[in-house]
Copies of this chain bind each other. A is one copy, B any other.
Amino acid sequence: MATDAAALSRIRQGVSSALEEFVGRQHDVLAAIGDDMLPWLRTVSELLSGGKRLRPAFCYWGWRAAGGVDCAEILTAAAALELLHASALVHDDLMDASDTRRGHPAVHRQFASWHAVTGYGGSADQFGAAAAILIGDVMLAWTDEMYHRSGLPSGALRRGQPVLDSMRTEVISGQYLDLVNQAAGHDSVASAMRVVTYKTAKYTIERPLHLGAAMAGSPSATRRAFTGYGIPLGIAFQLRDDVLGVFGDPAQTGKPVSGDVREGKRTVLMALARERAGAAEARLLDNALGDRSLTESAAAQVRAVIAGSGALAECEALIAANAKEAVAALDGAPITHEARSALVELAVVATDRQG
């Protein structure tokens, strides 16, 4: 296990270095366009400096599992997924009107403040929103640029391309399904699960593994095993997020306490609680969900209802069962011993965390 932890730390460092180098090159590109572009770089660097690097780690191990050699180029290609993710976060925060991200102001808030400080005219909020749209756009475009500049052989990039394509369409669609669920008041466990499948399970785990495996030219049996591992592990990962979004410690999550409740997120945890709660308690949950000015004592009541209904325990049981199913799917898969061991460790990292 010590070896796997060291390997993960080495992957994270390689990913961070690749991102720093890429952003450094974009510094020169943006500076040539004009000094007004430079505030983007601090924002982008900050966005890319955090995170668990889970998607690149899965991409890397998909590659190694299928026999790809360890090299800087695969870490660069895998790091491109961090640009895609940062883009999604910036647009997500704007759509959700979330004010913070990883303990920093969200990008639309940063640029609204910049507008005010600089003494610009017009609406600061509209300026902040527009800047967030454009910065999300540029990082989405850079995903592709970084992937293609990774230095991997063109055959590998060509094999990976359709997976990268699917991944982008799926995560963007998943975000829309989430939006529709919230707007339509779809609050069943099934509709929440559909969002989790596209917005998280495929996007965070299955597709990054597929991308690495496809680049390495894996057989289809490997891809099937990665689906068997990735979907349940992705569900477990999201359920952990659901729990942290209500019960997590802000110091560790970087998000406000019970932020998911105030933002009205229709999570699986919340759907389970509504199904199990009595009528009065379900009403309490419905009233709290999406109430931006929810007091801390009302939030504490919500947490008590979720725990008291048994939904929290059920969620924990689902996390454990899905993580177990994920690891079992690797049995007999045609992958290297080293990759199997790393993927078992990553299953723990993805589900047994505080932030």
A residues neighboring B (CB under 8 Å): 26, 29-30, 33-34, 36-37, 40, 87, 91, 94-95, 97, 115, 118, 120-122, 126-127, 129-131, 133-134, 136-138, 140-142, 144-145, 148, 154, 158, 161, 165-166, 168-170, 172-177, 179-180, 182-185, 194, 198, 264, 290
Q: Which of B137, B169, B174 contacts A29 (CB 8 A)?
A: B169
**A119 and chain B: residue at smallest CB distance:** B184
Once bound together, how far apart are the Cα atoms of A62 and B159, in whole Å?
A: 28
Cβ contact within 8 Å between B165 and A145: yes
Cβ contact within 8 Å between A173 and B136: no
Distance in angstroms from A154 CB to nearest chain B CB is: 5
Cβ–Cβ < 8 Å partners of A154 in chain B: 154, 158
Q: Which of B122, B129, B137, B140 contacts A183 (CB 8 A)?
A: B122
Cβ contact within 8 Å between B173 and A37: yes
Interface majority SS (helix, strand, loop, mixed), chain A? helix
Cβ contact within 8 Å between B138 and A137: no
Cβ–Cβ < 8 Å partners of A26 in chain B: 169
Cβ contact within 8 Å between A133 and B177: no
Cβ–Cβ < 8 Å partners of A130 in chain B: 95, 176, 179
Asked if A177 meets B33 with Cβ closer than 8 Å, knowing A118-B184, A130-B95, A183-B121, the reply is: yes
Asked if A34 meets B131 with Cβ closer than 8 Å, knowing A169-B29, A184-B120, the reply is: no
Cβ contact within 8 Å between B168 and A141: yes
Asked if A172 meets B137 with Cβ closer than 8 Å, knowing A127-B179, A177-B34, the reply is: yes
Asked if A33 meets B122 with Cβ closer than 8 Å, knowing A91-B133, A168-B138, the reply is: no
Copies of this protein, total: 2
Q: Which of B33, B133, B176 contacts A170 (CB 8 A)?
A: B33
Cβ–Cβ < 8 Å partners of A174 in chain B: 33
Cβ–Cβ < 8 Å partners of A194 in chain B: 34
Cβ contact within 8 Å between B169 and A36: no
Cβ contact within 8 Å between B184 and A133: no
Cβ–Cβ < 8 Å partners of A166 in chain B: 29
Once bound together, how far apart are the Cα atoms of A36 and B158, in whole Å?
A: 31
Cβ contact within 8 Å between A36 and B137: no
User: What are 28 A-B contacts with C-beta separation under 8 Å?
Assistant: A26-B169, A30-B173, A33-B174, A34-B173, A34-B177, A40-B176, A91-B134, A91-B137, A95-B126, A95-B129, A95-B133, A95-B134, A118-B184, A120-B180, A120-B183, A121-B183, A121-B185, A122-B182, A122-B290, A130-B179, A131-B179, A134-B172, A137-B172, A141-B168, A141-B169, A145-B165, A145-B169, A148-B158
Once bound together, how far apart are the Cα atoms of A36 and B184, in whole Å?
A: 11
Once bound together, how far apart are the Cα atoms of A141 and B144, in whole Å?
A: 9
Cβ–Cβ < 8 Å partners of A140 in chain B: 137, 140-141
